[in-house]
Amino acid sequence: MQSASEAFFLSNAVFVRPQPVKLEYRDTQVSGTHEVILHSETGPALVFEDGYKQYIINGVRVPPVVVENPSLISLPMIDGERNVEVRRVMIEKYGLARYIQDSGAEILDSDAFGTLHRKTQPNDDPIHLLEVKNSTVESDGSRKTYFLRVPPELTSARAAVAWTFGLEADDYGPIVET
C-alpha cells in the first residue's frame, strides 16, 4: 500500500496526490511563528515520481528558467510577468540595482546626497531606489556605489537618505561624512 500526501474531496470526485520524492524547504520565523516555506534556488523544490516538478523560491512558484538558468531572465520577461510575486523574484535574481539601471527607471531627484530612481510596476507599488556613493575612498581611489530600497512616498534624494538614518529631510545635514 502506498501513502498519499493530500486528498481533495469534492461532491462527485476525489483527487489524491502522491508524496513527493523530493521536497526542499526552509524554516523561517515570522512574527514569532515558525513557518516552513517551500524553497530551492538550485533546482525544483518539489519532484514527484512521475517527473512532475515545481520550482519554488520563498514559497512562490516560478518558471523553471528562474531557478535553472537565471542568466536568461530579461527585461521583457520581467516586465511582461503579470504575477507580482513572480516578478519580484525575477527582479531579485536579475539584480535590483541592475534592473533599475537597465529598465530606464525615472530619476525623481538628484543632488549631493544621491539619486532617487523610480520604476513603476503594473499592479504593484513602484520601486524607489536611492543610489548613493560611499564617502569612504577605496584603496584604488574609487568610491563604491550602493542602491538602497526606500519607501515610495519619498520624492527627494535628501529625504530618502534621511529616512535611512530614521530622520526627516529637514533634520538631516551631516557636517562631516566618514
Q: Are 67 and 57 in contact (CB under 8 A)?
A: yes
pLDDT at position 93 = 96
Output the pLDDT for position 110.
Answer: 96
Q: Where are the domains of the chain?
A: 1-94, 105-178
* DSSP SS3 for 79: helix
Which region, left, alpha or beta, applies to residue 100 given φ > 0 means left and ψ of -120 to 50 means alpha? alpha
Provide the pLDDT for residue 122: 82
Are 56 and 48 spatial neighbours (Cβ–Cβ below 8 Å)? no
DSSP label of 169: G
pLDDT per 10-residue tile (average), the chain, 178 residues: 62 78 87 88 93 94 97 95 95 94 94 94 89 89 91 94 92 71
| pTM of the predicted model as reported, rounded to 2 decimal places | 0.78
Q: Which residue has the cell 520524492?
A: 21
Contact 75, 102 (CB under 8 A): yes
Question: Residue 1 has what pLDDT?
Answer: 40
